[in-house]
């Protein structure tokens, strides 16, 4: 591992989980293809979320626990860029960093592993650590029971069918990147089962105005980037950093953005919004306003 920057070398900070490493390799290969002669190197970073993998996300504080140390590696000069699952990011970047690149997004949907929704018997048990997923599943099947689920993707998949767990909920994109789509029992349509902000997308941060940020422009997908901006603006609007049962999914067609969002006010009350516009920030804040702004737990 290099101790400092070298000409023609881009160092990518990443979590050390198999999925994170694979995602970072996707970015590394894209950079090398876009810039012939450029070399890349992965810098593995241990995050709070990885070190405390047995504790529920609600105890650890939710967003940021998988990214802060990765971001710090760039701020400290140990790496040039930070590669994240966009859904792990808080709604704002640390001072000095920017999301310089969002490669083409994969399927943003969630999926059930183990059994389909119709295949789950009365009172079945679902494993998930996500308040969003719990709220949406409970709205579709109020009889379901829920237990916490942490760990890497392999561990999550293996949980289905063990210790009384009938099914688990995971991101389709994660299964796709790991070549495990055969594990999907049912894809949950994002029009109904609203994804987490940024789900299916990668976000690559770099220092504002630096050469790495300029290099990343070549592999940025403008539509995916704009959609992520809209979703993250929604997150800001409802109050950043909280474990809120809410989600947003943006698509773009002919330059027009469509943002579908939801927020669970209680176990019985789910509010939904669908707005269109061309400005990502205004659209995201508009969706948050349509749902009443900050969640009452803030």
In the residue annotation, 87 being an active-site residue is answered as yes
β-pairing, 256-264 with 270-277? Answer: antiparallel
Residue with tokens 């998949």: 157
SS3 192: coil
Partnered with residue 12 across adjacent β-strands are: 42, 81
Among the listed residues 11, 115, 133, 226, the single catalytic one is 133
Among the listed residues 141, 242, 265, 279, the single catalytic one is 242
**Residues for the chain: how many in total?**
298
Among the listed residues 132, 134, 232, 260, the single catalytic one is 132
SS3 184: strand
Task: Tell me if 285 sits within 8 A of 233, measured CB to CB.
Answer: yes
Among the listed residues 11, 15, 80, 87, the single catalytic one is 87
| Rg of the Cα atoms in the chain | 19
Among the listed residues 15, 115, 156, 226, the single catalytic one is 156
Task: Tell me if 288 sits within 8 A of 280, measured CB to CB.
Answer: no
Task: Tell me if 262 sits within 8 A of 243, measured CB to CB.
Answer: no
In the residue annotation, 105 being an active-site residue is answered as no
Task: Tell me if 267 sits within 8 A of 141, measured CB to CB.
Answer: no
Q: What angle do CA 11, 152, 66 make, to 5 degrees?
A: 50
In the residue annotation, 115 being an active-site residue is answered as no
In the residue annotation, 29 being an active-site residue is answered as no
Of 288, 250, 232, 264, nearest in space to 136 by CA: 264
- Whether the CA torsion 263, 155, 173, 43 is positive or negative: it is positive
Rounded CA-CA distance 132/62 in Å is: 12
Among the listed residues 39, 78, 150, 187, the single catalytic one is 150
In the residue annotation, 76 being an active-site residue is answered as no
Among the listed residues 11, 80, 88, 260, the single catalytic one is 88
Partnered with residue 41 across adjacent β-strands are: 11
In the residue annotation, 132 being an active-site residue is answered as yes
In the residue annotation, 68 being an active-site residue is answered as no
β-pairing, 246-253 with 256-264? Answer: antiparallel
The catalytic site residues sit at 87-88, 132-133, 150, 156, 242
């Amino acid at each position: 591992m290099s101790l400092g920057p070298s000409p023609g070398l881009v160092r990518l900070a990443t979590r050390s989980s198999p999925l994170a490493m694979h995602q970072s390799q996707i970015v590394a290969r894209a950079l090398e293809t876009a810039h012939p002669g450029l070399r890349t190197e992965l810098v593995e970073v241990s995050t709070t979320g990885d070190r405390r993998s047995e504790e529920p996300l609600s105890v650890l504080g939710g967003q940021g626990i998988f990214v802060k140390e990765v971001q710090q590696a760039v701020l400290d000069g140990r790496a040039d860029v930070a590669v994240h699952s966009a859904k792990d990011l808080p709604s704002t970047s640390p001072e000095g960093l920017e999301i310089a690149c969002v490669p083409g997004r994969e399927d943003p949907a969630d999926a059930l592993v183990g059994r389909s929704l119709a295949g789950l018997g009365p009172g079945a048990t679902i494993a998930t650590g996500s308040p969003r997923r719990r709220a949406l599943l409970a709205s579709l099947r109020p009889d379901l029971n829920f237990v916490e689920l942490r760990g890497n993707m392999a561990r999550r998949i293996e949980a289905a069918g063990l210790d009384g767990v009938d099914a688990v909920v995971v991101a389709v994109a994660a299964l796709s990147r790991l070549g495990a789509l055969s594990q999907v029992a049912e894809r949950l349509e994002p029009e109904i089962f609203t994804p987490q902000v940024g789900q299916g997308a990668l976000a690559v941060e770099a220092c504002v105005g630096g050469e790495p940020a300029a290099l990343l422009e070549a592999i940025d997908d403008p539509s995916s980037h704009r959609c992520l901006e809209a979703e993250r603006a929604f997150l800001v609007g409802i109050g950043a950093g909280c474990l809120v049962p809410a989600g947003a999914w943006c698509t773009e067609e002919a330059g027009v953005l469509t943002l579908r969002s939801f927020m669970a006010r209680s176990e019985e009350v789910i509010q939904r919004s669908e707005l269109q516009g061309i400005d990502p920030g205004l659209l995201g804040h508009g969706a948050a306003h349509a749902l009443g702004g900050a969640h009452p737990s803030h």
